[in-house]
Amino acid sequence: MKPQGNILFCGVGGQGILLASEITALALLASGLDAKKSEVHGMAQRGGSVVAHLRFGEKVYSPLIDPGQADFCLAFEVMESVRYLPFLKKESKVIVNTHRIAPPAVATGKMVYPADLLSELTGRGITVYPMDGFSIAKNVGEIRAANIALVGALSTFLPIAEEVFLDVLKKRIPRKLDENIAAFQEGRKITA
């Protein structure tokens, strides 16, 4: 039986969430697995919540992940990691970009960004891998590569050879390829 799993990608518009889910799906397909994904854009262009579901295995019939069934969560923003808590289970692995993006209520001063959100996850026994994807991206010379750094961290848990991911990156992101590959490899160090 081939490996199977459910991956939830979440964050806010403009963080490259959909590209990250697409690259992961293409790498799974190139590895001989079936993969299906679904996206919810919402108010993505205005900084709203964005989520993508990705399921893989020998044969996948639906791209949607049921609540409590996500094996992995790739959270591109801290608060978004908690927003999708109902999809997680105790065995879930959550890779969280520690960068905070203030929602409008926080930006206008009506509310305060909650402190120590990651304890909401760890307090439930969920394994959390915090990483500063934006610092990694900045250090490799391409600030837009934070999403690829997160994919790199996720890649260590998936049944996909590193070379397959690199081939997908070459085809899907030909511009700034060296920087994206560097971000991918730095991300892998977080969870390896």
Res 45: pLDDT: 63
Res 138: pLDDT: 97
* Cβ-contact 38, 63 below 8 angstroms: yes
71 sits in which H/E element:
strand 70-75
- Burial (CB < 10 A; 0-12, 13-18, 19+), residue 183, is buried
pLDDT exceeds cutoff 90 at 188: yes
Mean pLDDT of the chain: 94
Both tokens assigned to 135: 């610092």
> Which tens digit of pLDDT belongs to each residue from 64-88?
999 999 999 999 999 999 999 999 9
pTM above 0.75, yes or no: yes
HSE-up of residue 48 (Cα within 13 Å, Cβ side): 7
Res 42: pLDDT: 66
Amino acid letter, 168:
V
Distance CA 37, CA 136 (A): 27
Res 48: pLDDT: 82
Handedness of CA 89, 50, 143, 112 (dihedral sign): negative
> Which tens digit of pLDDT belongs to each residue from 9-30?
999 988 999 999 999 999 999 9
pLDDT exceeds cutoff 80 at 44: no
Amino acid letter, 82:
V
Query: Which residues lie closer than 8 Å to 129 by C-beta, 6 or more apart?
Result: 93, 94, 95, 96, 153, 190, 191
* Mean pLDDT on 88-106: 92
pLDDT exceeds cutoff 70 at 94: yes
pLDDT exceeds cutoff 80 at 147: yes
* Mean pLDDT on 21-47: 88
pLDDT > 90 in the chain, percent: 83
Residue identified by tokens 């260590």 is: 156
Distance CA 131, CA 111 (A): 25
Q: Is 155 helix (H, G, I), strand (E, B) or coil?
A: helix
Query: Which residues lie closer than 8 Å to 162 by C-beta, 6 or more apart?
Result: 155, 188
